[in-house]
Amino acid sequence: MADISIDRVSKVFTTARKRTVALNETSLAIATDEIVCVVGPSGCGKTTLLNLVAGFLEPTAGTISVGSREVAGPGADRAVVFQADAVFPWLSVAENVAYGMRMQGLGRAERAARAERYLELVGLADFRSAYPKELSGGMRKRVDLARAYASGPEVLLLDEPFGALDLFTKEAMWLALQGVVRAEPKTIVFVTHDIEEALFLGDRVVVMTPRPARVHSVVDVPFGTGRDLELRAGPEFQALRNEIAHTLREVHDDAA
């Protein structure tokens, strides 16, 4: 269990031809076991922010802490799920889920027990011996999620994990993620382009400005736990969706 503190973080990419300020003194505090969804204009720096928290990139200025530790590189306390599948095609579903635990040196029996627990939580227990090519896109995403959880992180960083899925598969993944989080809460940063996804899953939705990204506004999501898909049809959900869409349109127009 850990909170995340992003304190006046800037990130400048410098190549031979170009200098890009992706983030400019961005600050954000995320509480332990909170789900924060991040939306913003395309190319504003959302993935950069996530990669900085993951430790894949180093800030040009500012600091990021997870719990009491300052981020100084990737670590087992953080697991990342990307849009692209990260499953190994030559490993079975259960072996994929156990992979990170093997790297961490856990014994065979514990790996098997933990893999089983997370396969059950994501609804894949019957597919433990299947290989990725036998799975649908949504099922492969469930494997990614189970593997991320099984590696025992304190923080989950999700970068448009369901971005390539069709609407119905996506909805099923929202419910799957919600179920796993309910069984085992985590501090989650979830980057998405999908406002409904952000509102359905998040405790808060952070709207970023165009590049260089800063936090434009933060929307508190009042729907509690155990959300069902019908929620989206309700007036409160619709009003928040419209509010965020309006903000995004505004920041987009200001930058254009």
Ligand X SMILES: Nc1ncnc2c1ncn2[C@@H]1O[C@H](COP(=O)(O)OP(=O)(O)OP(=O)(O)O)[C@@H](O)[C@H]1O
Q: Which residues bind ligand X (CB under 6 A)?
A: 13, 15, 20, 22, 40, 42-48, 211
**Which C-beta is closer to ligand X: that of 26 or that of 151?**
26
CA atoms within 13 A on the CB side of 221: 28
Q: How many residues comprise the chain?
A: 256
In the bound complex, what is the minimum distance in angstroms from residue 30's beta carbon to ligand X?
A: 18
In the bound complex, what is the minimum distance in angstroms from residue 15's beta carbon to ligand X?
A: 6
**Which C-beta is closer to ligand X: that of 64 or that of 150?**
64
Distance separating the N- and C-terminal Cα atoms of the chain: 41
**Which C-beta is closer to ligand X: that of 122 or that of 219?**
219
The CA distances from residue 235 to 207, 230, 231, 240, in Å, are 21, 11, 9, 9
**Which C-beta is closer to ligand X: that of 44 or that of 205?**
44
In the bound complex, what is the minimum distance in angstroms from residue 11's beta carbon to ligand X?
A: 8
- CA distance linking residue 12 with residue 21, whole number of Å: 4
In the bound complex, what is the minimum distance in angstroms from residue 212's beta carbon to ligand X?
A: 8
**Which C-beta is closer to ligand X: that of 109 or that of 256?**
256
Burial class, 169, CB count within 10 angstroms (exposed 0-12 / middle 13-18 / buried 19+): middle
In the bound complex, what is the minimum distance in angstroms from residue 191's beta carbon to ligand X?
A: 7
CA atoms within 13 A on the CB side of 171: 8
